Homo-oligomer: A and B are copies of this chain.
Amino acid sequence: MKKLGNQTIRLDAPVTILDTACIVGPKEAEGPMAKYFDKCLEDEFWGEKTWEKAESKILKETVSTLFSKSGLSSKDIDYCIAGDLLNQCISSSFGLRETNIPFIGVFGACSTFAESMCLGSLFVASGAANNILCATSSHFCSAEKQFRFPLELGNQRPPSSQWTVTGSGASILSSNGQGPYITHITPGKIVDLGITDANNMGAAMAPAFVDTLITHFNDTGRTPDYYDAIISGDLGYIGKDIATDLALSKGFDIKDKYYDCGVLMFDKNTQDTHSGGSGCACFGTIFSGYFYNELKKHNLNKILCIATGALMNATSSQQGESIPGIAHAIAVENA
């Protein structure tokens, strides 16, 4: 393990992403990425009585799918690292409580899946663990209820708002395997430029994305040319534009290889999600369902994933606080 520059850790022992799994909700099933997901649900409840219980079930079944796909079972996993958007991360704790795997709860808002893979990489590369399970989830209905307004109110959504992805993504990081490998992690700083509009998360989080992006390049000596793709979690249309411009203004032109999972998830013209997708599961499912498999197929060989999160809650917004953003990066590469 070697610290590079200010924030980046180079993993000197191989950390393979052994397998991934993802399940999404019905709206995501109508979007352009549907074919890449392991399972698409027909409704938001999946037989449960509440949205919170449904979200836990989605996470639980995603982990179960991951075990089926990988041939591993919970006994093979040393530790699981998981978190989500629900207060006190209950989707993760209830979704994973029957697995009997030691549990490390994390919170990075929508950056949680990248955060869990940063920490998981450290366990594996240091020799402390052979197999780490990383998981996350989000749910449109539980998130709207908790962070904004009751869905029953039928509140109008402003053009800058994003649509929380219903779904779960999970991965197993392993000391065994032939890649793709997590080679570097760059945990991010809290960046708060004073945005207070809780309906414009893209603008609030874009500066954190650019901060981690540039720090990663400075720490590693790499440039945008090195990567086949640079991926943000859920900046959406507005945040992606801000991030592209802000990075360019600081000398980094990423425009030709830059993808945002919030932009990829829904069809702009037909799905009425305004600025695109968001939520822990936005990066969680598109990384697990799409980018991971592009790496496996060697259509992509070097990608930099930077998932962003907004570290606020409903109370902080009501008390007039601005929205601190954060972004955690993982570099994933074939040998």
Contact = CB atoms under 8 A, between A and B. Distances in A.
Interface of A: 1-3, 6-7, 9, 49-50, 52-53, 78-79, 83, 85-90, 93-94, 96-97, 99-109, 115, 118-119, 122-123, 125-130, 187-190, 192, 311-316, 319, 321, 324, 326
22 contacts: A3-B127, A3-B130, A7-B78, A50-B319, A52-B319, A86-B313, A87-B87, A88-B312, A90-B312, A94-B311, A94-B316, A97-B192, A100-B189, A102-B188, A103-B326, A104-B106, A104-B118, A105-B106, A105-B108, A105-B326, A122-B122, A125-B126
CB-based closest 10 A-B pairs: A93-B311, A126-B126, A88-B313, A97-B190, A105-B107, A87-B87, A87-B313, A1-B128, A102-B187, A1-B127
A315 B52 CA distance: 8
A187 B316 contact: no
Max chain B CB contacts within 10 Å: which of A99, A104, A105, A312? Answer: A105
The copy count of this chain in the complex is: 2
Contacts of A99: 190
Max chain B CB contacts within 10 Å: which of A106, A125, A188? Answer: A106
Contacts of A52: 315-316, 319
Contacts of A1: 126-128
Given A9-B128, A128-B1, A324 B97 contact: yes
Given A7-B79, A97-B324, 17 more contacts: A1-B128, A3-B78, A3-B130, A6-B102, A7-B102, A52-B319, A87-B87, A88-B311, A88-B313, A93-B324, A96-B190, A103-B326, A104-B118, A104-B187, A105-B107, A105-B115, A119-B119
Nearest to A121: B128
Given A122-B126, A128-B122, A89 B311 contact: yes
Contact of A314 (B83, B87, B97, B104): B87
A176 to B, nearest CB: 15
